[in-house]
Amino acid sequence: MDDIQSSRHRPIVAIVGRPNVGKSTLFNRIVGKRKAVVHDMPGMTRDRNYHAAGWRDREFLLVDTGGYELQTGDQIYKLMREQTMMAIEEADVIIFLLDTSESNNPTDDQVMTLLRKTRKPVLVAVNKADNDAALMTVVSEFSRFGVDRVYGVSAMHGTGTGDLLDAVYDALPPEPEDGGPDDSLGIRVAVIGHPNVGKSTLVNKILGFERTIASPVAGTTRDSIDTTFERDGQRYTLIDTAGIRRKGKVDRGAEKLSVMSSLASLERCDIAVIVIDAEQGLTDQDAHVAGYAVDAGCGCIIVMNKWDAVEKDGKTADETTQKLRDALGFLRFAPILYASAKTGQRVDKLFKMIGEVYEQYTREIDTRALNEFLQKTLAYLSPPMRSGKQLRIKYVTQTGTRPPTFTFFVNDPGLIHFSYERYLLNQLRREFGFEGVPVKLRYKEKGDPKWSPR
């Protein structure tokens, strides 16, 4: 069987720099999609933005920051500085982005002094270097930073980004030899949800004591708190996170930083317990919280909390389940628990569900069984033609767990159509299960060191 690596707990690469130097544009260029909001206004990116990215055979978490500006006392710039500092603290590699048109901005020198103190790999890149004259400016005017190389790039057009990503690849920390996380922490579970849905009450009920302050006032829990414990011979680390709100709804400084802490917690957990207030019903904020968990690659369990307070009949649970499945189509694979953290109703069933999801999360499928499945799947429905070309899938192998990740070797990754990818994913689940976990599909042309994430 091929070596299978853990796909979670990825190294973090942060893009930092002054506002409006093109950080969000570079972020979008690297992740390959328009994820961040780009606007020609300083400080448009208020919060850090996370997304998985890959180069060659490594995957990492890319972080976009709002900007670091010292010359203003404006509260929003103060918050952006705090968020940038948090991103720098979390990062394994830092891309320091500058602008060719502002080669002598004193803030850049101050930021570089700050970055040197981190003793982390710092790659200096200068944006808008999309012609020979601009590249000459990069060489002559930015050499004062005293680094081995300054990378001239055009975030808008992609010029020079390949060389920059090669340098990122070389600077990433080595992969763990066993490919897995620290087993001493057991199964890592993050309890997430928007503020005041009962997360801390659920954590206290699980642990059996008042470890966190459970209060009806929204926003009481500010930081993520970890507790490692054992239950029935299994070790767990429980991460009680600050409430996640939609970014547009977060307007207080402490809450902004709490959101960032919660999103980081998702990166280091195995299972996300998504808590929803059953009295309120599903909200847009709940959908955003669930989306963060799926994007992070966590196993997922939905807990409909405060179920004891809901007026119901024999059909209520089934009707609620159908509404959740319809509204959260991207989370159809997640099991649902109807519970009450306050009374303890059905909370004891949560650990059985966590164990079942974790088993699927770490499951490995033999390559022979996978290719037998592939042949049946192709025979039932062959790939459609695209642009006059036929996609050919040669074979498939599992290349990761946490979450399960499968690499399909094809003649041309560009021929993959989303509808056929959905067919492959549905067939994989029908054949092998994977309840409660996202499944990643990758496509690779034989001999190409890069892979195409979907």
The domain spans of the chain are: 5-171, 183-361, 367-453
Question: How far apart, in Å, are the Cα atoms of 434 and each of 29, 187, 199, 321?
Answer: 32, 17, 26, 19
205-213: average pLDDT = 63
Query: Please, are residues 398 and 406 in contact by the beta-carbon 8 Å criterion?
Result: yes
Q: How far apart are CA 153 and CA 68, in angstroms?
A: 20
Q: Looking at residue 230, what is its pLDDT?
A: 85
| Least confident stretch, 72-81, 104-113, 245-254 | 245-254
Tokens linked to 243: 């409430």
CATH placement of domain 367-453: 3.30.300.20
Q: Looking at residue 73, what is its pLDDT?
A: 61
Assigned architecture for domain 183-361: 3-Layer(aba) Sandwich (3.40)
Q: Looking at residue 240, what is its pLDDT?
A: 63
* 328 or 245, greater pLDDT: 328
Q: How far apart are CA 246 and CA 225, in angstroms?
A: 21
Q: What is the pLDDT of residues 336-388, one digit of tens each?
A: 999 999 999 999 999 999 999 999 999 999 999 999 999 999 999 999 888 88
Confidence category of residue 23, pLDDT binned at 50, 70, 90: very high
Tokens linked to 260: 């960032």
Q: Looking at residue 6, what is its pLDDT?
A: 60
Whether 32 has a pLDDT exceeding 60, the answer reads yes
Whether 183 has a pLDDT exceeding 50, the answer reads yes
Q: Looking at residue 278, what is its pLDDT?
A: 95
Q: How far apart are CA 221 and CA 258, in angstroms?
A: 8
* Class at the top of the CATH hierarchy for domain 5-171: alpha beta
Whether 450 has a pLDDT exceeding 90, the answer reads no
Question: Judging by beta carbons within 10 Å of its beta carbon (0-12, 13-18, 19+), is residue 167 exposed, middle or buried?
Answer: middle
Whether 263 has a pLDDT exceeding 80, the answer reads no
Among residues 42, 260, 26, 285, which one has the least CA distance to residue 164?
26
Confidence category of residue 245, pLDDT binned at 50, 70, 90: very low
Q: Looking at residue 109, what is its pLDDT?
A: 87
- Quick check: do 5-171 and 367-453 share a fold? no
pTM attached to this predicted model: 0.68
Q: Looking at residue 9, what is its pLDDT?
A: 63
